[in-house]
């Protein structure tokens, strides 16, 4: 799910049109689910990856028409895995139905809200015909978040880790901004990555630049949150949100408050803020160190 701030757009290839398959690479077809919203953009992207056999990544919400479209793209090819990037409701709920339809296991890291048949973690390999996807554990947006890297092409299927022109929501306690920043830096520093295939929006070029821009934005926002804390604290995330996210309208109050809380926890991690409360108490009062 996207966050409250826009970033530069590095989009390539066809636009996301719900229900219309897009061949974005000779081994990758993208299908966008018909669930557009403020948080999902044009909808959740499902990717069919492979040649003679395929892996389906993020089948999305349980929408019958979308599952039918995915099955049409798969055709008669064997599906070796129905892979999920994370447990969120716009990415994973259709996994079990699709897996049953194609006779494949649900693969993911696993979560209390998502049962998987095969647990994938850092370095797990999913075969898709002649190509293989390698799982990267990229926590931050969600504790169970995985990206899937295709070494043969340099494509990284990013789920909600990185997306077109927007930040992502970090909601504690399952979301962790400190972990997220480290996971983003990993993408920035890995020169093997040539394209980003996000869970929302179009394929992205210049992956190192995309990641660097996200890190720069988060650094700028951290400075704003710290300034709000110094000028208006001590306070809770909800109280400080109106100062730290003054540029965000009331329609995104819940998202901005959650992300403000994530920044405050990261400031505690960095030694720039303190809180006497339990780490994940939403009523915790923060003060500048």
Query: In this structure, are 18 and 137 located in the same domain?
Result: yes
| pLDDT at 167 > cutoff 90 | no
Note whether 107 and 63 are same-domain residues.
Answer: yes
Same domain, 83 and 177: yes
pLDDT, residue 5, reads 57
Express each pLDDT in 265-289 by its tens digit: 999 999 999 998 998 998 999 999 9
The number of domains in the chain is 2
Angle (nearest 5°) at CA 206 between 47 and 186: 80
Q: Does 52 reside within a domain?
A: yes
Same structural domain, 159 and 244: no
DSSP β-bridge partners for residue 45: 32
Range of the domain at 142: 2-206
Q: Which range, of 10-14, 42-46, 132-136, 226-230, averages the lowest pLDDT?
A: 10-14
Q: Closest by alpha carbon to 286, among 230, 247, 243, 215?
A: 230
Q: For residue 4, is pLDDT > 70?
A: no
Q: Same domain, yes or no, for 228 and 275?
A: yes
The reply to whether 119 and 243 lie within a common domain is: no
Axis crossing angle, helix 64-74 with helix 95-102, rounded to the nearest 10: 40
In a domain, residue 211? The reply is no
**pLDDT at residue 2 above 70?**
no
Report in angstroms the alpha-carbon separations of 123 from 92, 119, 134, 147, 271: 21, 12, 6, 11, 32
Residue range 155-159: average pLDDT?
A: 98
Residue 18's nearest CA partner among 30, 2, 5 is: 30
Considering the domain architecture, whether residues 222 and 167 belong to the same structural domain is answered as no
pTM, 2 dp: 0.94
What pLDDT sits at residue 6?
66
Q: Which tens digit of pLDDT belongs to each residue from 125-150? A: 999 988 899 999 999 999 999 999 99
Domain end among 154, 172, 206: 206
Which of 206, 241, 268 is the last residue in one of the domains? 206
Question: Among 90, 89, 87, which residue's Cα sits nearest to residue 106?
Answer: 87
Using CB atoms within 10 A of its CB, is residue 238 exposed (0-12), middle (13-18) or buried (19+)?
A: middle
User: Across residues 102-107, what is the average pLDDT?
Assistant: 98
271 shares a domain with 196: no
Whether residue 255 sits in one domain with residue 122? no
Residue 192 within a domain = yes
Provide the strand spans (E) within the chain.
Answer: 2-6, 11-12, 22-25, 28-32, 45-50, 54-57, 79-83, 106-108, 118-119, 125-128, 131-137, 146-150, 155-159, 166-168, 195-198, 203-204, 273-275, 286-288
For residue 176, give the CATH number of its domain. Answer: 3.60.15.10
Q: What is the DSSP string of 95-113?
A: HHHHHHHHT--EEE--BTT
Cβ burial of 3 (10 Å; 0-12, 13-18, 19+) is buried
Per-residue pLDDT at 121 exceeds 90: yes
Tell me, what CATH number does 222's domain have? 1.10.10.10
Average pLDDT, the chain: 94
Domain's final residue, options 177, 206, 235 = 206
């Amino acid at each position: 799910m996207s966050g409250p701030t826009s970033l530069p757009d590095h989009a390539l290839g066809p636009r996301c049109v719900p229900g219309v398959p897009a061949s974005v690479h000779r081994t990758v077809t993208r299908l966008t689910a018909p669930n557009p919203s403020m948080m999902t953009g044009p909808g959740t992207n499902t990717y069919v990856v492979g040649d003679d056999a395929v892996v389906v990544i993020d089948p999305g919400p349980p929408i019958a028409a979308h599952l039918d479209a995915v099955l049409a793209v798969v055709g008669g090819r064997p599906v070796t895995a129905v892979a999920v990037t994370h447990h969120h409701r716009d990415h994973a709920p259709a996994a079990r139905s699709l897996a049953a339809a194609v006779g494949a296991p649900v693969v993911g890291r696993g979560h209390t809200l998502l049962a998987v048949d095969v647990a994938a973690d850092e370095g797990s390999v999913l075969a898709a015909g002649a190509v293989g996807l390698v799982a990267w554990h990229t926590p931050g947006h969600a504790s169970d978040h995985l990206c899937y890297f295709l070494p043969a092409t340099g494509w990284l299927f990013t789920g909600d880790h990185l997306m077109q022109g927007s930040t992502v929501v970090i909601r504690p306690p399952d979301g962790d901004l400190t972990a997220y920043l480290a996971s983003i830096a990993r993408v920035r520093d890995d020169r093997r990555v040539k394209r980003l295939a996000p869970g929302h929006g179009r394929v992205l070029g210049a992956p190192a630049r995309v990641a660097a821009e996200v890190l720069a934005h988060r650094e700028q926002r951290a400075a704003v949150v710290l300034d709000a804390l110094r000028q208006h604290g001590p306070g809770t995330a909800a109280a400080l949100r109106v100062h730290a996210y003054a540029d965000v309208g009331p329609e995104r109050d819940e998202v901005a408050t959650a992300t403000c809380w994530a920044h405050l926890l990261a400031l505690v991690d960095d030694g720039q803020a303190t809180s006497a409360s339990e780490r994940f108490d939403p009523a915790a009062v923060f003060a500048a160190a």
